[in-house]
Structure 1
Amino acid sequence: MLVAILLGFIFSMLMPVAGKFFKGKFAIVSSLVPLVLFAYFAQFIPQVSNGDLVVHSYSWVPAFGVNLDFNLDGLSLLFSLMITGIGFLVFVYTASYLKGHEYLDRFYGYLGMFMAAMLGLVLSDNLISMFIFWELTSISSFFLIGFNNSNPESRRSAVMALAITGFGGLFLLVGALFLGAVGGSYSITELLSSSEAIADSPYYILIAVMIFMAAFTKSAQFPFHFWLPGAMKAPTPVSTYLHSATMVKAGIYLLMRLTPVLGSTEFWNSTLLIVGAITMTYAAVHTLFRTDLKGILAYSTISALGILVFLIGQGTEGALLAAAVFIVVHALYKATLFLVTGIIDHQTHSRDVTFLKGLRKVMLPVAIAGFLAAISSAGVPPTIGFLGKELTYESTLAVVGTPILWIALILITKILLLHAGFVAGISPFMGKLPAKLQNTKTPGPLLWVPPLILATGGILLGIFPGLIDGPLIKPVVTAMGENVGDQYLALWHGFNTVLWLSVATIVIGTVLYFVLKPSQRLVATAARVEFLSPKSLMTGAWNIFNTISSFWTGTFQNGYLRNYVSTIMVFMIGLTGYALWNTATFSINFSTLTDITLYEVAVVGMMMIAVIYTVFTRSRLAAVASMGVVGLAICLVFVFYSAPDLAMTQFSIDTLTVILFVLVLYRLPRYLKLSNYKTRIKDGVLSIAFGAIITVLVLEVLAEPVGSEISDYYAQNAYVLAHGKNVVNVILVDFRGSDTFMEIAVLAIAAIGVFALLKLRLKETDQR
């Protein structure tokens, strides 16, 4: 299973080497990667449907309980099949949609990386490894959304998506750490047995909030939804893959996966119920005020994600069954509508639904796919959308408390989503073809076959729901801790309240479609209240934060090294001085100190004279030379106290520093008034205060009892364990070898950077 996940990463890493092969007529060969993975996961359907689990574990950091544990059950299998199945069709579609694009190989590399990250996320049974894959999906989606990097809007949308989803990832990490600490393990399977203890923990609310924040940001729940419409600046294959079938459902997957662990409380269910209801209704209303096809689909996607959160919040067996079915429903019809929109944009160079008409005459296969997807989104029988809608109504009717409110909200949402589906899937193909579109041609099969397959799947699964009922849907509900019993999927359940709600949805939604047409007037109406939207409010908060940050940076990081040093010293004096004022004893037994020798007094006197000369000289070179005297005097102090290695290091570094300073300053004016008297007074006061703080610290250290356990350990084991007689060298090379190695690596990287800068030859235009 690890190899299956790594296959996408390996494919991506091959792009820089074999990318040219995938940019030409062989681009479609890349689709074999998701196809092979789809076949691999499909073979587990019989095993998983029988209730068996496929578990693979690989040791990674066992000391911290972090392993690469993968668990294939009903829930992870459903998502894996969607990721690879829809991924295969998107790869095929991309071969034609981006045919001849200069960076097609790069695009495939990003897609492969994203597919692998999503597979790792849904298959992970360890919270920490799940977090790593979670962040990889955010990073790879950043590359995909910003693929058209010459477009400022694409770059801005990519940064926005990364900021929101990456921000949520931090909450996931905190939640995972607390959950692992409370539950005693990072393994999700092991946490199932600790669900009651976790619910009774004082940290339960904190854990739940952290998981909510991660899921809500990833799955575009109100008020974090605004990044998803902006991400529609990406190419259509990205919108199809990331924002209808996979990435935006990562948050949904997280909630479904942790429902058996955290979902046994009123706080969990009520929060999801309320947030889901607000999101689905808010986004559904927004679809009325959009004329761009991608904009309509973006808000309808947000609404659909809200429905899924709403169903998970209900927490009942019927609600979880409805959520499982609706995941399949939404993936099929929304991916189809996105692909259809991409074809329309590709062939007509427009996504304006007020302009697009009559396209059935020039692209009939695309029109058929759009029509089938539209009726599936509307829940018209015999599509699988009808089953999903009935299950949603049935579970909502059973909600304890105020079912009338929830039924009203879900009914309004479904009616508006029907309207949005008809506008996106039917409206562009009906009516008279405009004169400007007379020359529009039917696209090649690589473009229209993938959406037609998905749309046909929505009809086929509606007529034969048994194809997914036992093999896929019921194992999903079982994985969430519920038992569906003898319940089965079927188109007909008799005349009941659910049926009449479905009929009302279709009738009212269809009437609304014919009565309320998208228009610029509605767009202008929404624009007038845009300042109240979460996006505008958060953008305003961001601007305030940016202004404060700019002021802070301009004040404390103004490009002057002396200002940086002064700022650091002031804060250190203030913090350390405050601590010493409350804790320092200022007492020391001078009788325990060794006698002061004449040569020590001489060396200190040399240092003081050199320091005074440095302060008052007007010559740069003289100041550098006198500072060199201070450094050499410190070398003598090290020699006096039996530290020849430190003395040699100090001598080498100090000598080299003096030489470099002299070379740099040699051609500058020799005499110069470096600062005025006010600056010197300020620097003098700061230096005296800093020296006083260091002196007090040294006295406090000398007054503390010395523990020799660590030094004794190194002295006793330097030769025995490391076979070295120089204890200091043994510590650096063996006991702290990793630390030393990293320091050497940093120096090597810095040296390479300096060498590259020295060799850099810029054009005159670049220099300016």
Structure 2
Amino acid sequence: MLLTLLSGLFSSCLIVFAGKHLKSRWSLLLPILPALLFSFFAAQVPWIASGNQLAQHFNWVPSLGVNFDLKLDGLSLLFALLITGIGTAIFIYARSYLKGHIYFDRFFGYLFLFMSAMLGVVLSDNIILLFIFWELTSISSFFLIGFNNDNIDSRKSALTALSITGLGGFFLLAALILMANITGTFSISAMIDSKTLILDHPLYPLVICLLFIGAFTKSAQFPFHFWLPGAMKAPTPVSAYLHSATMVKAGIYILARFTPILGGTDYWNYTLMTVGGITMLYAAIHALFRIDLKGILAYSTISALGILTFLIGIGTQDAFIAAMVFLLAHALYKATLFMVTGIIDHETGTRDITVLAGLKKVMPPVAVAAALAALSSAGLPFTLGFIGKDLVYEATLHSPLTDYIWVLTGLAILTNIGLVAAGFMAGIKPFVGTLPVTLEHVHLPSRSLWIPPLILAVLGLLFGIFPSFAGDYISMPAASSLAAVFISKHLQIWHFNIILVLSIATLLLGTLVYFFNKPSIAKLNKLAKFDHISPQRIITGYANDIVRFATWFTNLFHNGYLRSYHLKIILFAEALLAYKLWVSGPIKLDVWMLTYPDIYEVVIVAVLIGALYIIVTTPSRLTSVVSMSVIGYCICLIFVIYSAPDLAMTQFTIDTLSTVLFVLVLYKLPGFINFASKKILYRDAFISLGFGVTLSLIALKAWSEPISREVSNFYGENAYLLAKGKNVVNVILVDFRGIDTMFETVVLSIAALGVYSLIRLRLKSSERE
């Protein structure tokens, strides 16, 4: 399994050096890797379906309990098959869709990176490892959503998506760390055994609240849903892969993965049912008003994600089965519809359903794929979508909330009616009717564009006619992972009971809505009147307030004057140290411990004070620099007197070098500008005296405290044994400087990348102006 992750990451890096060759016939090699990965995971299906798991353990940071642990069970297998299987179709599709694009190689580099990140999320059995890959999906999706970087809307959409999902990632990390602190482990498998410990902990409500924010932002749940329609500015292969089958399902995966650990409580179930119920109905209604094909698919995707959250919230075995079957069905038909939309846009130049019609005459295979996907989305019998919707109704009717069974079922019915109509709007409407004269030039695209969606659409049909494979080998093992018990249930083509009646009624009512609903720009404009109370406007308003506050704060504390920065740093340090002195109690100092200074100490201090006076009064930079060096040499003498010759030599060397450099740089500069008023001088003098007094009190406080030799004894005993150093002071310096140097190296590396980017930057003439 480790190789499945590294192969994608390695391929992404390889494209940086070999990307130019991929713009030729070598691009045929691109789909090979996802196809091989799909074959690997498909080969594990019989083993996982038998109730087994695959696990791999690699030491990473064992001292912190952070290891590279991977696990393949029913849930992760379902997602891995979708990531690699639909990924293979997307790689084939995108190869033709983006043919000739200037950034062709860059796109596939991002796509490989995203595929590996998603595999890392679903295969991780360590929460820190999971979070790293989780954030990597956000970063790689940012580049994919903003791929058309010359378009301001694409850049804005990418930033919005990254902001929302990145904020969710912060809350998710907080939840994961709290869980680790409660259970004492970073292993997800080990946390399952500590479920009672988490549920009984007083921080349990906070943990699930933080986890919910992380999952809801990623899976576009209300009120964080608005980033997903905006992300439709991305190229269609991105929408088909990220926003139907993979990334938006990552939030659903998190909820499913942690259901055996955190689920089963009223807090968990009611929250998920409420948020999922609002999301699925809200988005289904919004989809009916859209005229852009991608807009319709975006809102219907949000609605489907709401259904999955809603089912996980119900929390029964029937609901878990329904969620996994519906997830598989949705991934197949939604990826198909997105790719069909890309074909339409690619060939006609528009996605407006009010002007599209009759395309079946010029693109019959595409029309077949779209029709099969739309019928699966609508829940026509003998499609996997029909079985999925049947199971949704079965889950609501068998809900433990007996008093609200028909409320839950009614909510599901209304949502599915909207999804039926939305599916027909996206998959049927552009292909029926009379072909407009303006579209007579349209022709069937290359086979690599229409074969992938056709295969996915046919799979949705085959799984509906022969549901045993999709059920017994894929969906049931995934549902077993959610329930934490082995589930054995065979899917049926249909139920001869009230569920079949509800399914047929949903299909008929959805068809009526499709025929009577006439979306238009006028209706969209009427809907826009409510934008001022929309979640997007409210959250964006708060974000703008934060930006305004940040601007004010930055201008206040970062005005560009070095003296201002010094003043604020000293004030903050002085206040912090004074507060610490205040709360630590009085200084218990025996005055008899103090000794009279020797004459040479008095002389050194007198010279130091004289040099200090010259510094604050001289108008010459050169005199000021020389006086500062005098202060440094006085400190060197104090080090010598108090038996610290090594520090004295270090101080002497640094002061000498600094003085020489300052003189060389500042010799020809003009004198100081005397602009400071007496008020400013008095203020600075007061702050300086306060800082000096505070440090003196701290020194006296430290002197009065009883000596604790625990730290010195530890270094004395272990300096040579562990660090192979006989000088304890040097060992301490090396330990701390090693960490410091590591971060300095990171900073310098980032700076080097920035400099290299500027050197390689090629601006157009208009941009230079």
1:346, distance to aligned residue in structure 2 (A): 1.0
Task: Tell me the distance in 1 between the aligned counterparts of 2:761 and 2:80.
Answer: 50
Q: What are the ranges of 5 or more consecutive residues in structure 1 without an aligned counterpart?
A: none
5 Å matches for 1:25-104? 25-104=25-104
Does residue 412 of the first structure (1) align with residue 381 of the second (2)? Answer: no
Instruction: Indicate if the aligned counterparts of 1:584 and 1:700 stay in contact, CA closer than 8 A.
Output: no
Task: Tell me the distance in 2 between the aligned counterparts of 1:64 and 1:456.
Answer: 48
1:756, distance to aligned residue in structure 2 (A): 8.6
Instruction: Indicate if the aligned counterparts of 2:467 and 2:492 stay in contact, CA closer than 8 A.
Output: yes
CA deviations 1:218-246 (Å, max 9, x no partner) are 11111111111111111111111111001
1:715, distance to aligned residue in structure 2 (A): 4.2
Residue in structure 1 matched with residue 395 of structure 2 by the alignment: 395
Residue in structure 2 matched with residue 708 of structure 1 by the alignment: 709
5 Å matches for 1:354-753? 354-399=354-399, 400=401, 401-481=403-483, 487-494=489-496, 496-670=497-671, 672-715=673-716, 718=719, 724-733=725-734, 735-736=735-736, 738-739=738-739, 741-742=741-742, 745=745
Q: Name the SS for the 2:180 alignment partner.
A: helix
Q: Aligned pair in 2 of structure 1 residues 63, 90: CA closer, same or farther (>3 Å)?
A: same
Task: Tell me the distance in 2 between the aligned counterparts of 1:533 and 1:478.
Answer: 38
Instruction: Indicate if the aligned counterparts of 1:618 and 1:674 stay in contact, CA closer than 8 A.
Output: no
Does residue 349 of the first structure (1) align with residue 386 of the second (2)? Answer: no
Task: Tell me the distance in 2 between the aligned counterparts of 1:423 and 1:765.
Answer: 43
Instruction: Indicate if the aligned counterparts of 1:387 and 1:491 stay in contact, CA closer than 8 A.
Output: yes
What letter matches 2:538 in structure 1? Answer: L
5 Å matches for 1:311-330? 311-330=311-330
1:679, distance to aligned residue in structure 2 (A): 2.0
Q: Name the SS for the 2:299 alignment partner.
A: helix
TM-score with structure 2 length normalisation?
A: 0.95
Residue in structure 2 matched with residue 115 of structure 1 by the alignment: 115
Q: Aligned pair in 2 of structure 1 residues 116, 692: CA closer, same or farther (>3 Å)?
A: same
Q: Which piece of structure 1 moves more, 644-653 or 438-447?
A: 644-653
5 Å matches for 1:14-33? 14-33=14-33
Task: Tell me the distance in 1 between the aligned counterparts of 2:474 and 2:756.
Answer: 57
Task: Tell me the distance in 2 between the aligned counterparts of 1:39 and 1:393.
Answer: 34
Task: Tell me the distance in 1 between the aligned counterparts of 2:306 and 2:750.
Answer: 49
Q: Aligned pair in 2 of structure 1 residues 738, 426: CA closer, same or farther (>3 Å)?
A: same
Q: Name the SS for the 2:58 alignment partner.
A: strand
Number of residue equivalences: 766
Q: What are the ranges of 5 or more consecutive residues in structure 2 without an aligned counterpart?
A: none
Instruction: Indicate if the aligned counterparts of 2:472 and 2:488 stay in contact, CA closer than 8 A.
Output: no
Instruction: Indicate if the aligned counterparts of 1:28 and 1:91 stay in contact, CA closer than 8 A.
Output: no
Q: Aligned pair in 2 of structure 1 residues 212, 721: CA closer, same or farther (>3 Å)?
A: closer
CA deviations 1:270-310 (Å, max 9, x no partner) are 11111110000011111122111111111100000000111
CA deviations 1:35-66 (Å, max 9, x no partner) are 00000011111111111111222122223222
What letter matches 2:506 in structure 1? Answer: T
Q: Name the SS for the 1:596 alignment partner.
A: coil
Instruction: Indicate if the aligned counterparts of 1:619 and 1:672 stay in contact, CA closer than 8 A.
Output: no
Instruction: Indicate if the aligned counterparts of 1:317 and 1:483 stay in contact, CA closer than 8 A.
Output: no
Task: Tell me the distance in 1 between the aligned counterparts of 2:217 and 2:121.
Answer: 16
Task: Tell me the distance in 2 between the aligned counterparts of 1:621 and 1:104.
Answer: 59
Q: Name the SS for the 1:540 alignment partner.
A: helix
Task: Tell me the distance in 2 between the aligned counterparts of 1:722 and 1:282.
Answer: 63
CA deviations 1:411-440 (Å, max 9, x no partner) are 111011111111111111122222222212
Instruction: Indicate if the aligned counterparts of 1:24 and 1:100 stay in contact, CA closer than 8 A.
Output: no
CA deviations 1:340-388 (Å, max 9, x no partner) are 1111111112111112122222212111111111111000112111111
Residue in structure 2 matched with residue 294 of structure 1 by the alignment: 294
1:197, distance to aligned residue in structure 2 (A): 2.9
1:193, distance to aligned residue in structure 2 (A): 2.3
Task: Tell me the distance in 2 between the aligned counterparts of 1:395 and 1:722.
Answer: 62
CA deviations 1:100-148 (Å, max 9, x no partner) are 1111111111111111111111111222211111111111111111111
Instruction: Indicate if the aligned counterparts of 2:477 and 2:486 stay in contact, CA closer than 8 A.
Output: no
What letter matches 1:732 in structure 2? Answer: L
1:594, distance to aligned residue in structure 2 (A): 4.4
Does residue 193 of the first structure (1) align with residue 193 of the second (2)? Answer: yes
Q: Aligned pair in 2 of structure 1 residues 174, 761: CA closer, same or farther (>3 Å)?
A: closer
Task: Tell me the distance in 2 between the aligned counterparts of 1:643 and 1:355.
Answer: 86
Task: Tell me the distance in 2 between the aligned counterparts of 1:139 and 1:754.
Answer: 18
Q: Aligned pair in 2 of structure 1 residues 357, 549: CA closer, same or farther (>3 Å)?
A: same
What letter matches 2:274 in structure 1? Answer: I
Task: Tell me the distance in 2 between the aligned counterparts of 1:125 and 1:35.
Answer: 24
Residue in structure 2 matched with residue 220 of structure 1 by the alignment: 220
Instruction: Indicate if the aligned counterparts of 1:263 and 1:269 stay in contact, CA closer than 8 A.
Output: yes
Residue in structure 2 matched with residue 154 of structure 1 by the alignment: 154
1:446, distance to aligned residue in structure 2 (A): 0.7
Residue in structure 1 matched with residue 183 of structure 2 by the alignment: 183
TM-score with structure 1 length normalisation?
A: 0.95
Q: Name the SS for the 1:71 alignment partner.
A: strand
Instruction: Indicate if the aligned counterparts of 1:288 and 1:522 stay in contact, CA closer than 8 A.
Output: no
Q: Aligned pair in 2 of structure 1 residues 2, 762: CA closer, same or farther (>3 Å)?
A: closer
1:534, distance to aligned residue in structure 2 (A): 0.5
Q: Aligned pair in 2 of structure 1 residues 758, 89: CA closer, same or farther (>3 Å)?
A: closer
Task: Tell me the distance in 2 between the aligned counterparts of 1:717 and 1:316.
Answer: 57
1:708, distance to aligned residue in structure 2 (A): 2.7
Q: Name the SS for the 1:60 alignment partner.
A: strand
